[in-house]
């Protein structure tokens, strides 16, 4: 049985990158990059006239006021100084600002300008370099020193981040050669990297709340002012509910299940349920609020999970003896549940742990489900 992947539709037709040509010389390169990056290309009115697909602007400062926060990535083709002056009034925080990179008119240097790590400007500069043969110019301290940028790693791996301000203290300590506490027992963030011994594996019981640290786990914890916390997307929720149940009731039960097991909601990777619930507004709304993906499984796929508990009542209603437990196990690929089924009169929930990073790829084909991105 194969599945059909249904893509997200919230931003249909929207580009995530804006490329800004600032001169006649830069327009050809901007158009080339626009095609390679599937980007929107902007140019002054006098240049955009007669150039198909180019979006005109009268004033660069006005354009930035209107679009700076609308794109996750901006590329300026021209001088760095012009880009700096254009974006300066709109900068808020590296935790929220979009990535900004500059490439010179000759395509020799691709400069990461703003939001290098978490925003992705360093990777954007590298991407520009790969596309044009330019040299990527990256000046963030940890990159120059050959040390891991934990915020960049978290972003690249799609992890949720809490307390992003703490990364400044973490990076400063690494650059000064001071040890940084690390709680990443499964190696999900750093894969065993210890920055030459500077990232010191530390048990939560020995954690110094006043010292810089990096905390990566799917259990709740690490809520200290100097601790940069990341949550790997590895918890798989199975959900079931009666027809017509409101999303708030479902979310309240899920919150209780997670709290009782000390699980972090930020680590939810996907939500699974039966295809019969595909048009259930309450469950679909709850799933959209909980995780980046919801997968609907056919009854035959759910019924084939021997490790899941069985219910004759559920079988009569859905065609399978288990929904939430079977869905959680199918999503995760695990042999056992992290949190077995708990239920209210209207809602059931179970949780399983995805133990191998990246194991969710191809879910819709491998598991016989229909996958929908929820954000």
pLDDT in tens, 143-163: 665 666 888 888 888 899 999
- Starting at the edge strand that comes first in sequence, how are the strands of the sheet with 17-21 ordered? 54-57, 40-44, 17-21, 73-77, 99-103, 109-114, 135-137
Angle subtended at Cα 143 by Cα 142 and Cα 145, rounded to the nearest 5 degrees = 65
The reported pLDDT for the residue numbered 5 is 29
The reported pLDDT for the residue numbered 39 is 94
CA distance 7 to 370: 11
The reported pLDDT for the residue numbered 105 is 94
CA distance 336 to 299: 20
Spell out where 242-355 has E strands. Answer: 268-274, 293-297, 339-343, 347-353
DSSP element (H, E) containing 303: helix 299-303
Domains of the chain: 17-139 (3.40.50.11220), 154-231 (no CATH), 235-373 (3.30.420.180)
DSSP element (H, E) containing 365: helix 363-366
What number of H helices and E strands is found in the chain? Answer: 14, 18
Low-confidence ranges of the chain (pLDDT < 70): 1-14, 141-148, 306-321, 356-375
């Amino acid at each position: 049985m194969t599945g059909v992947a249904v893509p997200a539709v919230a931003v249909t037709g929207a580009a995530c990158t804006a490329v800004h040509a600032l001169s006649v010389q830069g327009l050809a390169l901007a158009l080339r990059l626009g095609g390679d990056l599937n980007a929107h290309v902007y140019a002054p009115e006098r240049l955009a006239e007669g150039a198909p697909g180019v979006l005109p602007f009268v004033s660069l400062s006005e354009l930035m006021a209107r679009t700076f926060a609308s794109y996750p990535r901006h590329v300026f083709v021209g001088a760095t100084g012009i880009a700096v002056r254009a974006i300066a009034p709109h900068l808020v925080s590296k935790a929220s600002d979009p990535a900004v990179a500059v490439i010179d008119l000759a395509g020799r240097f691709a400069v990461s300008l703003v939001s290098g790590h978490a925003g992705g400007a360093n990777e954007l500069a590298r991407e520009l370099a790969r596309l044009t043969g330019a040299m990527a110019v990256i000046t963030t301290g940890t990159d120059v020193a050959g040390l891991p940028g934990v915020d960049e790693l978290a972003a690249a791996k799609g992890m949720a981040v809490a307390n992003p301000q703490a990364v400044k203290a973490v990076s400063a300590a690494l650059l000064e050669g001071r040890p940084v506490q690390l709680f990443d027992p499964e190696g999900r963030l750093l894969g065993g990297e210890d920055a030459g011994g500077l990232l010191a594996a530390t048990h939560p019981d020995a954690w110094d709340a006043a010292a810089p640290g990096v905390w990566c786990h799917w259990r709740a914890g690490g809520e200290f002012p100097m601790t940069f916390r990341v949550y790997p997307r590895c918890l798989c929720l199975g959900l079931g509910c009666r027809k017509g149940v409101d999303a708030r009731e479902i979310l309240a039960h899920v919150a209780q299940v997670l709290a009782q097991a000390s699980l972090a909601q930020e680590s939810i990777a996907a939500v699974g349920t039966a295809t019969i619930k595909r048009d259930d507004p309450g469950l679909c709304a709850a799933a959209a609020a909980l995780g980046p993906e919801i997968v609907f499984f056919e009854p035959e796929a759910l019924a084939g999970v021997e490790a899941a508990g069985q219910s004759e009542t559920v079988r009569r209603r859905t065609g399978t003896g288990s929904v939430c437990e079977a869905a959680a196990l199918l999503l995760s690929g695990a042999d056992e549940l992290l949190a077995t089924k708990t239920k209210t009169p209207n809602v059931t929930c179970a949780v399983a742990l995805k133990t191998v990073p990246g194991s969710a790829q191809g879910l819709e084909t491998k598991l016989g489900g229909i996958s929908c991105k929820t954000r």
